[in-house]
Structures are given as structure tokens and as C-alpha cells.
């Protein structure tokens, strides 16, 4: 895995992104304030703390979305018509709707505080954004789980039935353990898509990496010479986090490929 | 048509309080319809640009020049592993500040508008995924078919456009459908750079009329409808392009 980092494609991508950053420095107009790179260095901890919130949101949303998505995926294969059709409907609706609209719906329609008698419990905006991200993730994970369960040969179901397993026992003890291998690569892909979608919360005022970078640029006087370095820094930050995940996904796909 | 549905929804609002204001108020109706048309325009432009970039990129990946191949690989990795909304903001704010402005009666407007930046950015984002999809389609074309083309006297680019590309397009159509649907959903991110498409217009309507839930429902229905229409159109294309012996 470490040797992959030195590969030409990775270097080419990094070079492209750094080129944009240095371009910002050369076209910066001379001014008595900080140069764009000094400004970026001073504000980097602030932007990185926002990036930490991005990662926390993505991990929480991934956990929540995986649990909900697993249940939704299994429900899609139920024999009861009501459960089956309603879970198919829910999955299709949340797969076909853009993430920003689901996020809007959750953030604007869920109240910002819960009143318990005289006390009020404030629901932080990043928590609502996390739930807003968990919903489309659960729909994607539901499809992954459904695909993995359907890819297990039907002989497994028949032989467990003949051995006296109930349907739930079969699912729990025979099918799902075999599905874990098949689900790993698509699940990592869904996680990468989730992380790349968390900056959408900045549109709704959550103080994560993009929001913090925009606030930093405002604090520095909103000079246009800051735009390229600051936005390039965020792009490079996400690239450093996601590229290893995408390499890991490729490796998992090859390692756990199922040949029937 | 508006005159027919307007009294129905006005009555609905007055009796139950469910406020679909854009269906009975002519001004809001006009705004919403403009937003819908702009969304469809944005979607079509982004899809076409991404398919064009995909085809050109897949062709360039087989080029002899090593620099070109590395450039395409760098472009793909850069656009696949970075957030699309940050790419949009980068293109509109950072690159937009560097583009020249045209003067219009005393004030200057940028030469590339927000809509154009959204098309460029989302087209590049979708194109990066499409290059991989088209490459997989091209690799699925049997070697024997390509060698037969060579034997019949086709030049390299003639063989690519007349033999390889038609077959590759048919092979990659399901994955392309998936990606184009995902790109259509991603166009809603243009809200962040104030492109007046249906998401932004709906946010303006709910700010004026305080009917968030109804506009949210409308947006859900709208996007599900256009995604379903795109998926249906791609399936029809798949059936129309079907050739015997494959799938």
C-alpha cells in the first residue's frame, strides 16, 4: 500500500492540485497584509478542525446509515407484501433524490430544540446534518446488502431449510456471514461518496472544513488572491483522505472477489 | 392549464392550510416553471459535456504520448477523489475571479456566468467517471474484433470510431445509465453557486411563503420524476441499440 503512494498517477494528481495553489501565489496582487500562503498557514488549524467535524459526521452517518440500510435491505427481501413494497418504495425515493434536498428537508423540518417541560434540549446543526446524510447512505447500503444477499447461491437457502433452520436463523447464521465479503468493496465505495458529500452541510451553515475556510477568507478581508490557495487546500485535504480509501476499495475488490 | 389547476389548489389552501402556492399564484408559478426549465437545461448540458469528455478521455488513454496518458490519469484521480461541491466552489469563486469581465453600461459582468461554471465543473466531474466507464467498455471489445479491423485495412482512428466505439458504447450502457442518473442528481449542488434552478427557486418560494414542507414534497416528486424519465430513456436506448449475440 505504501508503494502505491509514489505511483505516477498519484503524483500527477497531486501536481495538478498543487499547480493551482502555486498559481494563486503568483497572481496575488502585492499588498501589505499576509501573503496568501502565510494566511493559509495561520488559518490551517481552524480549517483542519472543521475537517475533523467532516470526518466525525461521516463516521457517525456511516454507522447509522449501515445499521438502517442493513435492515432496509433485508426488509426488501421479505415475503410480506406490505413490508417488501414499502421498503422498496423508501429505498427508491431516497436513492433518486439529491443529497442536498434530503439534507434541506432534515435540517429545516426538524426543530432546533426539543422542549422537555421547562428545559429545552438544543439539537446541534451538525447532528441534524449527520442524520440528513445517514438517510441516503442507508438507501445505498440497502441496495448493496440486497445485492449481496441475492448473490448467495440459492442452494444455501435450500440446504439450510432441509437442515431445519428457520428463515431468520438461515439469514443470521448462513447467508449474512457469506455476504460480508461481497459487501466490503461496495460499502467502502459508499463511504467514500459519503465523505465527499459532507461539505454540502456548509451550504446550510454547519461549521465544517468549507464553512471554516470561507469564514477564514472573510476574516482576512475577502481578497480574491486567497480564493485559489484556500479552496485548493480543501481539495488536497480531501484528496489525501479519499485516495487511500479508493485504493483500499480496489484492493478489497480484488482480494474478496467471489468466483462461483 | 394553470387556469384549470389554480382554483383547486387555492381552495386546498383555504380549506386545509396545505399551501402549494406556486400552483395558484401566477408569479410563483412563473418562477417555478423557469426554475424547472433551467434545471432540465443544466441537466442536459452537464450530461452531454460529461459524455463528450468521457469519449475523448477514453480515446486519449490509448494515445502514444506518455504525458497525455499521465495527464488524463491525473485528471481522473483529482476529480474522482475530491468533493463535487468544493470543485463547484473552486471553479466559480477561485477561477471565476481570474476570468475577465465584460463591461455592460458602467458595471462589469463576468464573461462566464454561474450557469456556465456549473456546466463546466459538473461536466468535468461526470466526465472523470465516464472516462473509466468508457475505458471498461473499450477493454470489453474482443481483441479478435479489433485485429479483424486491422486486417480489413482500417486505420487506428477509423477502427476506433467505426468498430470499437459502437460495441464499447453498447457494453458500457448500464454503467453509463447509473453514472448519468447520479450526475443529474449532483446538478442540484448548483444551488451553492446560486444558479436559479429548481432548488434555489423553491428555497426562494418557501422563504416568501413559509411553506417548506410543501416545497420539499414538490422537490422530492420533481427529482424522482426526472430521474425516472432519464432511466426510462436510457433503457429505451439500450433496447434500441441491442445487437444479437451480446447480453
Cβ contacts of residue B163 below 8 Å, gap of 6+? B141, B145, B146, B149, B154
Q: Please tell me the predicted confidence (pLDDT) of residue A24.
A: 55
Helices B26-60 and B198-209 sit at what angle, rounded to 10 degrees?
150
Taking CA–CA distances from A140, the nearest residue in chain B reads B182
Cβ contacts of residue B236 below 8 Å, gap of 6+? none
Nearest Cα to A66, choosing from A119, A143, A125?
A143
Nearest Cα to A111, choosing from A97, A98, A125, A99?
A125
Q: Please tell me the predicted confidence (pLDDT) of residue A2.
A: 46
Show which of residues 25-54 on chain A sit within 8 Å of chain B, judged by CB atoms.
Answer: 27
Cβ contacts of residue B135 below 8 Å, gap of 6+? B58, B61
Under DSSP, the state recorded for B64 is S
Architecture of the domain defined by B2-240: Orthogonal Bundle (1.10)
Instruction: Give the C-alpha separation, B157 to B150, whole Å.
Output: 11
Domain segments of chain A as ranges:
36-255
Instruction: Give the C-alpha separation, A258 to A254, whole Å.
Output: 9
Residue A119, strand partner residues: A116
Using a CB–CB cutoff of 8 Å, tell me whether A13 touches chain B.
yes
The predicted model scores a pTM of 0.88
Asked whether the beta carbons of residue B223 and residue A196 sit closer than 8 angstroms, the reply is no
- The CA R_g of chain B, rounded to the nearest whole Å, is 23
ipTM of the predicted structure? 0.89
Our measurement of the distance from residue B33's CA atom to the centroid of its chain's CA atoms, rounded to an integer in Å, reads: 19
Under DSSP, the state recorded for A226 is G
Give the Cβ contact number of residue B81 at 10 Å. Answer: 24
Mean predicted confidence (pLDDT) in B105-121: 89
Q: Please tell me the predicted confidence (pLDDT) of residue A29.
A: 47
pLDDT in tens, chain A (260 residues): 445 555 677 777 777 777 766 655 555 444 556 788 888 999 999 999 999 999 999 999 999 999 999 999 999 998 899 999 999 999 999 999 999 999 999 999 888 888 888 888 899 999 999 999 999 999 999 999 999 999 999 999 999 999 999 999 999 999 999 999 889 989 999 999 999 999 999 999 999 999 999 999 999 888 888 899 999 999 999 999 999 999 999 998 888 877 76
Give the Cβ contact number of residue A19 at 10 Å. Answer: 10
Nearest Cα to B115, choosing from B43, B219, B220?
B43
Instruction: Give the C-alpha separation, B224 to B217, whole Å.
Output: 11
**Bigger pLDDT: B93 vs A1:** B93
Cβ–Cβ < 8 Å for A21, A44: no
pLDDT band at residue B156, thresholds of 50, 70 and 90?
A: confident
Cβ contacts of residue B12 below 8 Å, gap of 6+? B18, B20
Among A10, A16, A234, beta carbon nearest to B86: A234
- What cell numbers appear for A131 in the block? 442524520
Pick the CATH number of A36-255 from 3.40.50.800, 3.40.50.1000, 1.10.3720.10, 3.90.79.10: 1.10.3720.10
- What cell numbers appear for B179 in the block? 453514472
Mean predicted confidence (pLDDT) in B214-236: 95
- What cell numbers appear for B172 in the block? 458500457
- What cell numbers appear for A163 in the block? 437442515
Instruction: Give the C-alpha separation, A258 to A178, whole Å.
Output: 10
Instruction: Give the H/E segment covering residue B103.
Output: strand B101-104
Contacts of A192 in chain B (CB under 8 A): 81
Cβ contacts of residue B209 below 8 Å, gap of 6+? B19, B21, B28
pLDDT band at residue B247, thresholds of 50, 70 and 90?
A: low
Query: What's chain A's length in residues?
Result: 260
Domain segments of chain B as ranges:
2-240
Helices A176-197 and A125-150 sit at what angle, rounded to 10 degrees?
140
pLDDT tens digits, B166-211 = 999 999 999 999 999 999 999 999 999 999 999 999 999 999 999 9
Q: Which of A209, A227, A241 to mutate to test the interface with B (most CBs of B within 10 A)?
A: A227
Instruction: Give the C-alpha separation, B247 to B235, whole Å.
Output: 14
Using a CB–CB cutoff of 8 Å, tell me whether A139 touches chain B.
no
Contacts of B78 in chain A (CB under 8 A): 13, 16-17, 235, 239
- What cell numbers appear for B184 in the block? 443529474
Give the Cβ contact number of residue B58 at 10 Å. Answer: 25
Instruction: Give the C-alpha separation, B177 to B230, whole Å.
Output: 8
Q: Which of A6, A57, A96 to mutate to test the interface with B (most CBs of B within 10 A)?
A: A96
Q: Which of A6, A21, A97 to mutate to test the interface with B (most CBs of B within 10 A)?
A: A97
Q: Please tell me the predicted confidence (pLDDT) of residue A1.
A: 47
**In chain A, what is the straight-line distance between the N-terminal and C-terminal CA atoms, in Å?**
28
Instruction: Give the C-alpha separation, A43 to A33, whole Å.
Output: 14
pLDDT tens digits, B114-132 = 999 999 999 999 999 999 9
Amino acid at each position: 500500500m505504501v508503494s502505491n503512494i509514489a505511483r505516477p498517477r498519484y503524483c500527477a494528481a497531486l501536481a495538478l492540485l498543487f499547480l493551482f495553489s502555486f498559481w494563486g501565489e503568483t497572481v496575488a496582487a502585492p499588498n501589505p497584509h499576509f501573503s496568501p500562503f502565510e494566511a493559509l498557514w495561520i488559518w490551517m488549524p481552524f480549517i483542519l478542525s472543521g475537517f475533523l467535524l467532516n470526518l466525525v459526521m461521516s463516521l457517525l452517518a456511516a454507522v447509522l446509515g449501515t445499521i438502517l440500510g442493513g435492515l432496509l435491505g433485508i426488509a426488501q427481501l421479505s415475503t410480506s407484501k406490505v413490508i417488501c413494497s414499502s421498503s422498496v418504495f423508501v429505498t427508491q425515493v431516497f436513492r433518486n433524490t439529491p443529497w442536498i434536498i434530503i439534507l434541506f428537508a432534515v435540517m429545516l423540518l426538524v426543530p432546533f430544540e426539543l422542549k422537555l417541560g421547562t428545559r429545552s434540549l438544543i439539537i446541534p446543526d451538525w447532528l441534524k446534518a449527520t442524520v440528513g446524510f445517514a438517510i441516503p447512505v442507508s438507501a445505498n447500503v440497502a441496495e448493496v446488502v440486497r445485492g449481496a444477499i441475492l448473490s448467495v447461491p440459492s442452494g444455501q437457502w435450500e440446504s439450510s431449510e432441509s437442515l431445519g433452520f428457520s428463515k431468520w436463523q438461515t439469514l443470521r447464521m448462513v447467508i449474512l456471514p457469506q455476504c460480508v465479503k461481497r459487501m466490503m468493496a461496495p460499502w467502502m465505495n459508499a463511504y467514500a461518496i459519503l465523505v465527499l458529500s459532507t461539505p454540502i452541510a456548509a451550504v446550510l451553515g454547519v461549521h465544517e472544513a468549507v464553512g471554516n475556510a470561507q469564514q477564514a477568507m472573510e476574516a482576512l478581508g475577502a481578497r480574491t488572491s486567497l480564493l485559489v490557495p484556500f479552496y485548493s487546500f480543501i481539495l488536497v485535504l480531501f484528496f489525501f483522505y479519499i485516495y487511500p480509501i479508493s485504493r483500499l476499495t480496489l484492493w478489497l475488490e480484488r482480494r474478496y472477489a467471489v468466483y462461483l | 392549464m394553470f387556469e384549470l389547476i389554480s382554483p383547486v389548489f387555492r381552495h386546498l389552501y383555504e380549506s386545509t392550510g396545505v399551501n402549494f402556492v406556486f400552483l395558484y399564484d401566477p408569479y410563483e408559478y412563473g418562477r417555478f416553471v423557469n426554475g424547472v426549465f433551467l434545471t432540465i437545461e443544466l441537466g442536459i448540458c452537464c450530461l452531454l459535456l460529461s459524455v463528450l469528455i468521457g469519449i475523448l478521455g477514453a480515446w486519449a488513454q490509448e494515445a502514444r504520448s506518455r504525458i497525455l496518458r499521465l495527464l488524463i490519469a491525473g485528471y481522473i484521480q483529482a476529480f474522482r477523489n475530491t468533493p463535487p461541491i468544493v470543485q463547484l466552489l473552486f471553479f466559480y469563486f477561485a477561477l471565476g475571479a481570474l476570468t475577465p469581465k465584460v463591461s455592460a453600461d458602467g458595471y462589469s459582468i463576468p464573461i462566464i456566468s454561474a450557469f456556465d461554471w456549473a456546466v463546466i465543473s459538473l461536466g468535468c466531474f461526470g466526465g472523470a467517471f465516464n472516462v473509466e466507464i468508457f475505458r471498461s467498455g473499450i477493454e470489453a471489445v474482443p481483441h479478435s474484433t479489433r485485429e479483424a479491423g486491422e486486417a480489413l485495412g482500417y486505420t487506428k482512428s477509423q477502427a476506433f470510431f467505426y468498430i470499437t466505439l459502437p460495441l464499447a458504447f453498447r457494453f458500457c450502457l448500464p454503467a453509463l445509465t447509473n453514472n448519468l442518473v447520479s450526475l443529474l442528481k449532483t446538478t442540484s449542488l448548483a444551488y451553492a453557486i446560486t444558479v436559479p434552478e429548481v432548488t434555489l427557486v423553491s428555497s426562494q418560494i418557501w422563504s416568501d411563503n413559509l411553506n417548506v414542507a410543501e416545497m420539499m414534497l414538490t422537490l422530492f416528486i420533481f427529482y424522482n420524476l426526472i430521474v425516472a424519465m432519464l432511466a426510462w430513456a436510457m433503457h429505451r436506448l439500450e433496447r434500441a441499440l441491442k445487437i444479437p449475440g451480446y447480453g
